[in-house]
Amino acid sequence: DIQMTQSPSSLSASVGDRVTITCRASQGISNYLAWFQQKPGKAPKSLIYAASSLQSGVPSKFSGSGSGTDFTLTISSLQPEDFATYYCQQYNSYPLTFGQGTKVEIK
Amino acid sequence: EVQLVESGGGLVKPGGSLRLSCAASGFTFSSYSMNWVRQAPGKGLEWVSSISSSSSYIYYADSVKGRFTISRDNAKNSLYLQMNSLRAEDTAVYYCARECSSTSCYGAPDYWGQGTLVTVSS
């Protein structure tokens, strides 16, 4: 199975900060990497597919990069509505696997 | 508008069974692969099972293999998860999620339902 490791597990940031979350795969997954945002008590929301492509309707302040084993999600200017938990997921092979999540909190 | 609405969750005793449903609307259901993903209280997301558009390909997480069965009825625009021999560790919110079908995003989940809570407890 492919293990997905996110770092950090949590971070505190201020409105307007640039935030970067890292996701590392235990083996190469090409660009078959998705990112999701989840707010408390809500369903996940798809943000990015194929490592760097924005889902329809997702604001351009979100960006993704990487290929192979190392990936990043960047939020260019953190807004109050961005405080949430973010997950990466590989869909290169079964079983599909998620990172453990990164909680972005208000400083 | 794409909509996925799960139902069928509830309280069940260990060893019991439950059938979850996911009603799809706003898209051509028969053209998309579908997933079940769960989230235990206070924990992260865990993939459970996937089914291709015509049910030709089905996959399960090891944690549910042999106990859970995924299925779909394209005529009814519905996805199902039959859960048998339930354990306390199956307690979670269960989400259905659609997989993108276009070449550029094939395989990536794009839409999610709101989830249904399954509690396994005596």
Judged by a CB distance cut-off of 8 A, whether residue B111 touches chain A is yes
Residue B99 has a pLDDT of: 96
Contacts of A49 in chain B (CB under 8 A): 100, 104-105, 108, 110
Chain position carrying tokens 């859970």: B68
- Respond yes or no on whether the N-terminal peptide bond of residue A95 is cis (omega within 30° of 0): yes
- The tens digit of pLDDT for each residue in B43-57 reads 999 999 999 999 999
Asked if A30 contacts A86 with a C-beta cutoff of 8 angstroms, the reply is no
Coil, strand, or helix at residue A21? Answer: strand
Q: Is the pLDDT of residue B114 over 90?
A: yes
Residue A106 has a pLDDT of: 87
Contacts of B47 in chain A (CB under 8 A): 89, 95-98
Query: HEC string of chain B?
Result: CCEEEEECCEEECCCCCEEEEEEEECCCHHHCCEEEEEECCCCCEEEEEEECCCCCCEEECCCCCCCEEEEEECCCCEEEEEECCCCHHHCEEEEEEEECCCHHHCCCEEEECCCEEEEECC
Among A52, A96, A98, the residue to mutate for chain B (most B Cβ within 10 A): A96
- The tens digit of pLDDT for each residue in B61-97 reads 999 999 999 999 999 999 999 999 999 999 999 999 9
Residue B47 has a pLDDT of: 98
Q: How many CB pairs under 8 A join A and B?
A: 62
Per-residue pLDDT of chain A (107 residues; tens, 9 = 90+): 999 999 999 999 999 999 999 999 999 999 999 999 999 999 999 999 999 999 999 999 999 999 999 999 999 999 999 999 999 999 999 999 999 999 999 88
Judged by a CB distance cut-off of 8 A, whether residue B62 touches chain A is yes
